[in-house]
Structure 1
Amino acid sequence: MLTSSFAMPAGISLRPAATGDQPFLATLYRSARPDLQLIDGEPEFIETVVAQQYAVHAQGTGEEYPNAMHFVIEKTQAAVGALVVDFGHNEVRVIYLAFIAAARGFGYGKAVLRGVLQAAGNVQCPVTVVVWHNNRGAKRIYLELGFQVEESQLMADRMVWYPRQP
């Protein structure tokens, strides 16, 4: 659905996440949350906190967005990222988008987001995302794609993209 009608960078594709992807997704989450490595404590304690945060993330996403679509992003059939998106009644919500460090900075995230925007634009639906204030790179990409800050909170901004009217 997200990859069939727009150009992805060479070798990039999306596929539905499967149970066997959990070890990769947990490792990806860890790499996408360097803030958790700053916790003052023993390495075992930090790993416990990271594992708990991942469990809360996964459970919370499932409870709040039971119909969300979970994708693994691949580069030449190797897992390099993940996308969780919910196509709701009034909006499309990008819940989670992350890449392993080696796949960052190549435009893959922007390409995946363009696919989400195209799908949302086809049905004239806005796209929303929450971006942490410390994630300046992501915020820059969302702004480049036409997102606007709709609400600013203490730790994050809620951003929205509105489709062009036909």
Structure 2
Amino acid sequence: MLTLPAPLHLRSIRDDDQAFLDALYDSTRADLKQAGGDPVFVEQLIKMQQKMQAHGYRIMFPDAQYLLLESDGKPIGRIVLDRDARSVRLVDIAILPTEQGRGVGRTVLSSLQCWAAERQMELRLSVSKDNGKSRRQYLALGFEVTSSDSVHEQMRWSATVNGPAPLTRA
């Protein structure tokens, strides 16, 4: 399993993590909350989209690994990884808004790059074109755009193609 520098730690998700995962997903949906409308309806819509996301991941990535990201033993995020013989895909990364901007995402990504490089694997991910902050971070870490559609860009990083992972600290 991928290891991270202290105080960060990854572990498998357990049933008793569901309340945190619900709150984490909810924290990523400011777009729906700001759109206005009946708050009860918006909350139901968010829960429905969370279920659809989970279902979609299970269909598209049936062997994916779901990991809880902790800092000093406190849950702060989640990552979903899927791998095959030649590559590992970062299916999803979500970090609580209160923990963003502290280098946590960059530390997770650079650790994942090192892990992939040690195994001579490519690292792949998809990013929404609307997510400029994450897209800039991925490019700064050496990812390259391999394809795009009207909504997402597919990105790839490989130590043999893009060079070693930038060293970072949490």
TM-score, structure 1 length as denominator?
0.90
Superposition deviation, residue 162 in structure 1: 1.7
Match in the other structure for 1:30: 26
* Aligned mates of 2:29, 2:160 — CA distance in 1: 34
Superposition deviation, residue 40 in structure 1: 4.5
CA RMSD across the alignment: 1.7
* Aligned mates of 1:53, 1:88 — CA distance in 2: 27
- Which secondary structure state, in structure 1, belongs to the residue aligned with residue 58 of structure 2? helix
1:117 has 2:133 as partner: no
Alignment of 1:33-112 (within 5 A): 33-112=29-108
CA shift digits 1:80-109 (9 cap, x unpaired): 011101112332110110111110011111
Q: Which letter maps to 2:26?
A: R
Distance of aligned partners of 1:36 and 1:89 in 2 relative to their CA distance in 1, 3 Å threshold: farther
Q: Which runs of 4+ in 1 moved over 6 A?
A: none
Identity percentage over the alignment? Answer: 31
CA shift digits 1:121-164 (9 cap, x unpaired): 12221111111112111111111111011112111211111222
* Aligned mates of 1:98, 1:43 — CA distance in 2: 23
Q: Which letter maps to 1:155?
A: V
1:148 pairs with 138, 141, 144, which one?
144
Report how many aligned residue pairs link the two structures: 162
Q: Which letter maps to 2:40?
A: E
- Which secondary structure state, in structure 2, belongs to the residue aligned with residue 146 of structure 1? coil
CA shift digits 1:23-72 (9 cap, x unpaired): 11111111122222244421111111100000011111112111111111
Match in the other structure for 1:132: 128
TM-score, structure 2 length as denominator?
0.88
